[in-house]
């Protein structure tokens, strides 16, 4: 845990960066008005980890129309809530009691259950060393206090959009490497393992999500949550997509018939295989093979 220097304590105690100026009040009011049209949508969840209540209130009131906001007052609470709730993004202060933001971030990024969650770190520190330290924990963005709510909003939007693009990439490409969709090294290892397990059982029609959970060593809910976050697909759909992508490669690179390929990738019924293949690739297997 990082020790707070006397200099930093004096900095953080000497001013309050979150006083609502007229500009902030206008931006806050305008944000609420411009975003009312989205209130019926299922909003992504933000976990806000901050020990100062007024800071939490300031951020929550600005974002609560477009996001579900859950709050924690220190790193220990933040860690527990991240594991339990699996938010789409975490905003955390650097300096907090019991467990600081650096230690919490390190633990979250090393845990397979939470390693995929983007983390934005807030801090009053402005030195290059502090920025490097924050980013080395695995934080995805580092914002100095006092900060602009517009800047924070853009960071959140960019991180969520980048995650969406990476998830979409898996569904669209015929051949994919773990590095193409992984966010951290932990996620890369997870995807590599998941793909290897499915590949090992690619021709076994009896291999399903239950067998997948047992072999990868995760509960059904944990595996579903992780795959859904990284690939937009639950376990059963992930397995089917892997089978169909292998079939697509075989259709291009082998002389096997459609029926032979369907059995080789674990489908009991060539007709059902053709239906699934057309649903994914918008072509029948025969048309795809050319």
List the CATH number of the domain containing 10: 3.40.50.2300
CA-CA distance, 71 to 48, in Å (whole number)?
5
- Shared domain for 47 and 114, answered yes or no, is yes
Residues 217 and 113 placed together within one structural domain of the fold = no
As a whole number of angstroms, the distance between CA 116 and CA 223 comes to: 13
Q: Does residue 178 fall inside a structural domain?
A: yes
Q: Note the pTM of the prediction, 2 decimals.
A: 0.70
Structural domain includes residue 1: no
> Of the candidates 166, 191, 208, which is a domain's last residue?
166
Residue 152 and residue 88 share a domain: yes
Residue-level pLDDT, tens digit, the chain, 290 residues: 334 443 333 323 322 333 333 333 433 343 333 333 333 347 899 999 999 999 999 999 999 999 999 999 999 999 999 998 889 999 999 989 999 999 999 999 999 889 899 999 998 766 666 666 656 677 888 888 888 899 999 999 999 998 888 777 766 665 566 666 666 678 888 888 999 999 999 999 999 999 999 999 988 888 988 898 888 889 999 999 999 999 999 999 999 999 999 999 999 999 999 999 999 999 999 999 87
> Domain span at residue 70?
6-166
Are both 51 and 138 inside the same structural domain?
Answer: yes
Q: Say if residue 15 is in the same domain as residue 76.
A: yes
Same domain, 112 and 206: no
Same domain assignment for residues 144 and 248? no
């Amino acid at each position: 845990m990082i020790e707070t220097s006397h200099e930093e304590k004096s900095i953080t105690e000497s001013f309050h960066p979150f006083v609502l100026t007229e500009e902030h009040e206008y931006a806050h009011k305008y944000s609420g008005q411009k975003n009312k049209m989205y209130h019926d949508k299922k909003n992504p969840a933000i976990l806000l980890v901050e020990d100062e209540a007024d800071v939490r209130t300031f951020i929550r009131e600005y974002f609560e129309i477009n996001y579900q906001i859950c709050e924690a007052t220190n790193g220990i609470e933040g860690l527990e809530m991240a594991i339990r709730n699996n938010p789409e993004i975490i905003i955390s202060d650097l300096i907090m009691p019991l467990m600081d933001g650096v230690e919490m971030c390190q633990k979250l990024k090393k845990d397979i259950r939470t390693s995929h969650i983007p983390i934005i770190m807030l801090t009053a520190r402005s030195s290059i060393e502090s920025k490097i330290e924050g980013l080395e924990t695995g934080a995805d963005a580092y914002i100095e206090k006092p900060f602009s709510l517009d800047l924070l909003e853009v960071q959140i939007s960019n991180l969520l959009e980048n995650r969406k693009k990476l998830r979409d990439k898996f569904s669209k490409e015929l051949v994919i490497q773990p590095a193409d969709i992984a966010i951290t090294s932990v996620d890369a290892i997870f995807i590599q393992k998941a793909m290897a397990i499915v590949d090992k059982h690619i021709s076994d029609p009896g291999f399903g999500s239950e067998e997948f959970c047992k072999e990868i060593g995760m509960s059904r809910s944990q595996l579903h949550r992780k795959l859904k976050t990284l690939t937009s697909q639950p376990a059963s759909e992930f397995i089917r997509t892997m089978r169909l992508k292998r079939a697509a490669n075989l259709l291009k690179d082998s002389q096997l018939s459609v029926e032979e390929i369907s059995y080789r990738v674990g489908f009991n019924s060539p007709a059902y295989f053709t239906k699934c293949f057309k649903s994914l690739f918008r072509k029948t297997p025969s048309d795809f093979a050319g």
